[in-house]
Chain A
Amino acid sequence: MNKKNESDFLPGTLDMLVLKTLSRGTNHGWGIAQHIQTVSQDALRIGEGSLYPALQRLLLDGYVEAEWGVSENNRRARYYRLTAAGKKKLADEKRSFEFLVGAIARVMEA
């Protein structure tokens, strides 16, 4: 049912990055992509082909909610907001991600 995550990085991490971005406040799709790109210092560039399926997936699972609003340049845009379930999901994801990264790091440094 869940199509393969087509981002270039570790599978499943795109959802986590989106959730993390939204934990700073509501944002629209473009804003989310921009935020991730900026913060990662252009290392992570996210195309519509990955971003919107991911957002739809999060909507379907009930981790985010969407609402139409007005963007900073006065355009209609869909704003996404983290739900309670989304917050919990983000915490879970973060924990398992840190566990995984830590494990990989230990293997690499051994």
Chain B
Amino acid sequence: MRVWRRVRRILAARRFERELAEEVRFHREMAGGPAFGSVALAMEESRAVWRFAWLDSLAQDVRYALRGFRKSPGFAATVVLTLALGLGTLATSFSVFNALVLRPFAVRDPYSLYSFLGWGEKKGSFQTRPFSWRGFNDLRRWDGPFSDVLGYMQSTAIVDGKLLWTQSVTGNYFNMLGARICLGRPITENDDGPGEGVAVASYAEWKNRLGGDPAALGRKVRLDGSQAELVGVACPEFNGLEERRIDYWYSLAVDMDLFSGRDPERLSVVGRLKPGVTKEGAEAALVAYGRGVYTTWRYGRNPPASATLRPAATVYPLNRDSVARFLPAFAAFGLVLLIACANVSNLMLARGLARQREIGIRISLGAGRARVIRQLLTEGLLLAVPAAVAAFLVAHASIRAATWLQTDVLHVGSLWTMQLANDAPDWRVLVFLLAMAGLATLAFGLAPALQTVRSRLVEANRGEFAADRRPARLRSALVVAQVTVCAVLLIAAGVALRGERRLASEDLGFGLDVRGVFSVMPAVSNGRRASRIGPDITRLVWGRLAALPQTVSVAASAHPPGAGYRPRNWDGVALPYNRVSAEYFGVFGVPIRGRNFRNEEADSEAPVVIVSEAAARRLWPRGDALGKTLRGEDVLPGPGNVRMQPALVVGVVPDSGFLFDSEAPDGRKIGAAYYPTRLQGRDYFGYLLARTRGDPAAARRAIEAAAPLSNRSVRPLQELLDAYLYPYRALVAITAFLGALALALTVSGVFAVSSYAVAQRRREFGIRMALGASEERVTRLALGHSLLLAAAGAALGGAAALAVARVAGHAVRGIDVFDAGGYAGGALVVMAAALAAAWIPARRAARVDPAKTLRCD
């Protein structure tokens, strides 16, 4: 009641004011002349009754702070800018986390959606196995824990050189998800089954490629050999249930043989749990269901013991794993904020000291210390809020810039670019930012505030506080912390850069040049979709490629290089393997110790094998691999493992990270095995590799013209190499960006602190010079302190980086996290930068005119 009356009073302030004035005037007139007391005071006291005291003093603090900022706009701008940079960097990483983990997809009741990952023979394990059309319908009809189940197939298509993400979906997809369609109609269950396919475009796709034209409906969309009629456009907020933005949804009809008698297993499923059903309950029910169908499904040798569901409301469910995955990124980005905060802290400290006289006066006039601290914190918050808003813009811009860099500048293997579905920062990011800004202010504004009010009254009033060493100590500690953090980031950048350089050059080995090598998937188009039929096509395409004037040599392999084939079990050692033709090593110019496959061995798939050096070392630690026999089994899905014929090792080839997928998680090389292959056999699904000469673009055109292929299957190996190196390049880019930002902030911090220190010691320097100290000596004196701090910070940073490498280094494949060059480089750069930043103030110290300084005081 009281609060409400107050609020009403404040809202109608002018009326209240008028009425009060009239009332007092009436009183005056009745009294006939001046009564006791002043009218203004009476009014003021009457008014005060209604106010919130805390609001009043807050308003007072705010007014006071704003007046202070107006007096020193440089200070306010620097703090806001510094905080905005630090917060914006952190918010960028949080935006990605938000898009992947926090923000649910724009569908109805997203938290009841679960992906069914598969059944497993043991608790906690599962085998991914998609559903067939028949199996999917059985699952849908089952009156189990799901109210409905949808199925989809993921695929890609290249249109105008741009990679599109497409999905073939069951007819209930849009209806079950409750995803809105803004134009036309969704795909419905009438579209299930063979026949002419229909498609729904994403809003972005419709706007950009189809020109936002409503007449686009009914048009045929031709993608990758298949075509479908465009019947609808999804609303902008819906981009599918994937990490990446889906560009087109198709009806299942566009997949050639899903409905054929073979009943292929291609559908991944997402179910909506009935109300009240828990994830665990649904999993138990699915195990029972799996026991009923596993025999017909040939799912495994044993009935399933477990079934695994994963929440499908977000790209990754929010749990310990997803947080742990993002923690390193948060930490790295957060470190930049830490440096920014140290800068702000230093600025506030310096300002606090400059204002010590003023604060001293306030305290001696009776202001409580708590009130003074509150006032200083209010100032901090007033700076933090605009900083948070600016940081929001920074995050927005940096995500835009990153996307633009990836797609328009780098053109990295288009498959790998991170086109997140919903990456724009939203209110969650803003809330996060405000919270972080508040936290940062508290953490880094409180210390200077406490420092400031601690000073003794008398000295403060006189403006003498040189005797108090504590602020100086705090400032030094802040600089050391900054240099430390900066060193860690720079070391990370150095290590990443050197690792990437090494991978890109040395690790490919033996002067390997993949430029001009193309990988071709032999295929013909049967009108509806590219189809690949066995050895005849492969031979045909091989012949045509070999006949091209640009071609140097042609080889065949079951997997393309760099594709990362699955490890198989060889004599108890997990080892990836490939099947290649005899020409394979020749195409890449790989030197072979021992001998290559003979053509007749390839044609008969003879029991011979070539292993890489690392594989040889692992399989036969003692003695030479040549002449040994390799036994192994191929672990296939379905019942039983296929035993491979024991094979004679005839050759050993060098290791290469790219060609032979050979890095273990701990950075050790795994190696690989190569079996000979022939281009015959019922199910030859392999790749042809052609080395060409001359202009790569011309060679590509020639290959595309020569082979009756769908254009997407011709890929320069350089693209695959780029894709292989992409994560490392991204790591280099991110760490370099963070390192540069940290360096800039640190340099400004060191500069500010050493300037301040020099200004404080002006008098001392003056005396020293008057007593005959040389300029050089004074410079060294002024520089010495900064050098000490920088060295301490760099050493601490090196130690911290070592500790981090020890703990988290195993997560980074293929990079030597203890690379001495990277450490030395990072530490040297930060020290040099700190020295350079301290140089200018030091020179200023040396130019002090002793006579002037001494007269000054």
Contacts and interface: CB of A to CB of B under 8 A. Distances in A.
Interface string A3-33: 1001000000000000000000000111001
Contacts of A56: 20, 46-47, 49-50
B50 A48 contact: no
B659 to A, nearest CB: 79
B1 interface: yes
Q: Is the interface of B mostly helix, strand, loop or mixed?
A: helix
Contact of B35 (A47, A53, A55, A76): A47
Contacts of B761: none
A62 interface: yes
B38 A49 contact: yes
B470 interface: no
Interface string A60-93: 1110000010010001111000000000000000
A52 interface: yes
B42 A60 contact: no
A110 interface: no
A59 B4 CA distance: 12
Nearest to A28: B26
Contact residues on B (Cβ < 8 Å of other chain), bracket: 20 to 34
Contact of A49 (B2, B20, B45, B50): B45
Contacts of B22: 76, 78
Contacts, number: 81
A50 B47 CA distance: 12
A52 B23 contact: yes
A78 B19 contact: yes
- Of B9, B37, B45, which is in contact with the most chain A CB atoms at under 10 Å from its CB? B45
A1 B30 contact: no
A77 B37 contact: no
A43 to B, nearest CB: 15
Contact of B27 (A2, A30, A62, A68): A30
A86 B6 CA distance: 18
Contact residues on A (Cβ < 8 Å of other chain), bracket: 20 to 34
Nearest to B28: A48
B31 A30 contact: yes
A47 B46 contact: no
B427 interface: no
Contact of A75 (B1, B19, B26, B37): B26
B7 to A, nearest CB: 12
Given A75-B26, A77-B26, A60 B45 contact: no
B42 A48 contact: yes
A52 B53 contact: no
Contacts of B49: 2-3, 53, 56-57, 60
Given A57-B49, A60-B50, A49 B41 contact: yes
Nearest to A52: B46
Contacts of B31: 30
Given A48-B39, A52-B20, A60-B2, A76 B46 contact: no
Interface string B44-67: 011111100100000000000000
B53 A1 contact: yes
B24 interface: yes
Contacts of B20: 52, 56
A3 B26 contact: no
Contact of A52 (B29, B38, B42): B42
Contact of A47 (B5, B6, B30, B37): B37
B2 A61 contact: yes
A61 B35 CA distance: 28
Contacts of A47: 35-37, 42
A29 B23 CA distance: 8
Contacts of A45: 36
A19 B354 CA distance: 54
B50 A52 contact: no
Contacts of A2: 49
Given A1-B53, A60-B2, A30 B45 contact: no
A106 B402 CA distance: 86
B5 A62 contact: yes
Contacts of B26: 28-30, 71, 75-78
Contacts of B39: 48
Contacts of B41: 49
A49 B5 CA distance: 22
B770 to A, nearest CB: 60
Contacts of A78: 19, 22-23, 26
Contacts of B2: 60-62
A77 B50 contact: no
B34 to A, nearest CB: 11
Interface string B680-723: 00000000000000000000000000000000000000000000
A71 B23 CA distance: 12
A48 B43 CA distance: 9
B50 A3 contact: no
A30 B30 contact: yes
Given A30-B26, A60-B6, A76-B26, A48 B37 contact: yes
B48 A48 contact: no
Contacts of A29: 23-24, 26-27
A87 to B, nearest CB: 17
B5 A53 contact: no
Contacts of A52: 20, 23-24, 27, 42-43, 45-46
A11 to B, nearest CB: 15
A28 B9 CA distance: 20
A52 B41 CA distance: 10
A49 B44 CA distance: 9
A48 B26 CA distance: 11
B168 to A, nearest CB: 69
B27 A33 contact: yes
B655 to A, nearest CB: 79
B570 to A, nearest CB: 82
Nearest to A85: B1
A50 B35 CA distance: 12
A25 to B, nearest CB: 18
Contacts of A55: 46
A57 to B, nearest CB: 5
A53 B23 contact: no
A57 B6 CA distance: 11
Given A53-B48, A61-B2, A48 B24 contact: yes
Nearest to A53: B45
A49 to B, nearest CB: 4
Nearest to A29: B27
A53 B46 contact: yes
A60 to B, nearest CB: 6
A62 B1 contact: yes
A89 to B, nearest CB: 14
A68 to B, nearest CB: 8
B5 to A, nearest CB: 6
A50 B24 CA distance: 12
Contacts of A50: 37
A9 to B, nearest CB: 15
A47 B49 CA distance: 17
Contact of B23 (A6, A49, A77): A77
Contacts of B38: 49
Given A1-B53, A78-B19, A53 B27 contact: no
B162 to A, nearest CB: 66
Contacts of A6: 45
A49 B27 contact: no
A80 to B, nearest CB: 10
A69 to B, nearest CB: 11
Given A3-B48, A56-B49, A78-B23, 7 more contacts: A3-B45, A53-B48, A55-B46, A56-B50, A60-B6, A76-B26, A78-B26
25 contacts: A29-B24, A29-B26, A30-B27, A30-B31, A47-B35, A48-B35, A48-B42, A49-B41, A49-B42, A49-B45, A51-B27, A52-B20, A52-B23, A52-B27, A52-B46, A53-B42, A53-B45, A53-B48, A56-B50, A60-B2, A60-B5, A60-B49, A62-B5, A76-B26, A78-B26
The 7 closest A-B pairs by CB, nearest first: A49-B37, A48-B42, A56-B49, A53-B45, A30-B30, A47-B37, A52-B46
